[in-house]
Amino acid sequence: MPEVGHGEREADRRVLRALRLALELSAVIFVVEALGAYLSHSLSLTVDAVHNLPDLIAFGVSWAALRATESGTSHDYTFGPHRFEVFAGLLNAALILGTGVAFGYAAVLTLYRSVPFAGAVDPLWLLAAALPTFGLRAANLLVMDRLPRRARDLNLRSVILHLASDLAITGALVFAGIVLYLRPSLGATDALAALFIASVLVYESFPLFREGSEVLSERTPRNLSVEAITRAALEVPSVAELHDVHVWAVCPTLVCMTAHVRVANMSVREGMSVVAQLRTLMRDEFGILHSVFEVESGPG
């Protein structure tokens, strides 16, 4: 029977509901923007509409990854399937980057040729799609932002970052629509907005790639220091030395460590008491949910 081990928190129901909402709203936004892009002939709105397709895939994968963690640990996945969340975050980053590069190229080409993407842009249809999209995305981001911070692993942070950048993107669409409505002669505004959108997508992908690669390469999490952990451990009574310290993350919300701890000569019961104190310290002070200490006896 699968069981939850080492105190790691499984997928929060609120997180799953919020991700499902993001998925459903993205589907609605895709329909609204696709229709608006067709009627407005706007490149910037087309970029954002097509960008919703990776969004749907990304949010769906994120939701599925979190659902997978509900199964707990097993003989095949002794830490549980938490790494699936990291892979979901990296897939999100790849989709974001690919979309940004492809449409950035299209925007540059449009500006270079000085030819409208699909004819003259109708700013009213552009605004008719952008304004409700802005409202839907703002509501979606508000729901996600209210989730407890402890639940915000790489997978979920990638979704929140995605939504925040999407809101900025929609702001650019609204701005382009207003400018074109007031000054129809400024036709390049639409292509410039498309280029801005593509740039935002490319930029937001890099932190996600970095965080995912650091987890997979088992780098010590950036918010932790082996030196600080060692100093704190030495404050525990009877601990004389801490060495061979290894700290890594299975996923950003499940940090693990192993270490050798040298203590003065003492009974097994006393040694286990020291280990219990160390585990409590690591959990409460550093957020390390799974810590293993090998006790070595020696002069104090």
Does some domain include residue 190? Answer: yes
At residue 216, the pLDDT reads 87
What integer is the mean pLDDT of 122-135? Answer: 91
Q: What's the CATH number where 278 sits?
A: 3.30.70.1350
What is the per-residue pLDDT across 176-186, written as a single tens digit (0 to 9) for each? 999 999 988 88
Q: Are 121 and 191 in contact (CB under 8 A)?
A: no
What is the per-residue pLDDT across 144-202, written as a single tens digit (0 to 9) for each? 766 655 444 555 666 677 777 788 888 889 999 999 999 888 878 888 998 998 898 88
What is the per-residue pLDDT across 52-89, written as a single tens digit (0 to 9) for each? 877 777 677 767 766 666 666 667 776 766 777 788 77
What integer is the mean pLDDT of 23-33? Answer: 87
Question: What residues make up the domain containing 272?
Answer: 226-297
C-beta neighbour count of 48 within 10 angstroms: 31
Residues 133 and 258 in one domain: no
What integer is the mean pLDDT of 211-229? Answer: 88
Does some domain include residue 231? Answer: yes
Tell me the one-letter amino acid at 215: V
Q: Let me know if 35 is exposed, middle or buried by CB neighbors in 10 A (0-12, 13-18, 19+).
A: middle
pTM, two decimal places: 0.70
Which among 22, 15, 8, 140 has a CA at the least distance from the CA of 66?
15
Q: Name the domain boundary from 216, 248, 281.
A: 216
At residue 151, the pLDDT reads 44
Q: What percent of the chain shows pLDDT beyond 90? A: 24
Specify the number of domains making up the chain.
2
Does some domain include residue 73? Answer: yes
For the record, the structure tokens of 7 come out as: 């105190």
Residues 70 and 172 in one domain: yes
At residue 179, the pLDDT reads 92
243 secondary structure, DSSP code:
E
Residues 69 and 116 in one domain: yes
Residues 232 and 104 in one domain: no
Does some domain include residue 52? Answer: yes
The mean of the pLDDT values for the chain is: 81
SS3 content of the chain, % helix, strand, coil (to 5): 65, 10, 20
At residue 31, the pLDDT reads 92
Sheet of strand 254-263, all strands in order from the earlier edge strand to the far edge: 239-251, 254-263, 288-297
Give the residue with greater pLDDT, 73 vs 2.
73
Q: Name the domain boundary from 216, 248, 280.
A: 216
Residues 185 and 290 in one domain: no
DSSP 256-289: EEEEEEEE-S--HHHHHHHHHHHHHHHHHHH-EE
Does some domain include residue 198? Answer: yes
Q: Name the domain boundary from 166, 187, 216.
A: 216
Of 11-15, 109-113, 141-145, 288-292, which gets the smallest average pLDDT?
11-15
Q: Is residue 252's pLDDT more than 90?
A: no
Q: What's the CATH number where 147 sits?
A: 1.20.1510.10
Beta-bridge partners for 251: 254
Tell me the one-letter amino acid at 253: T
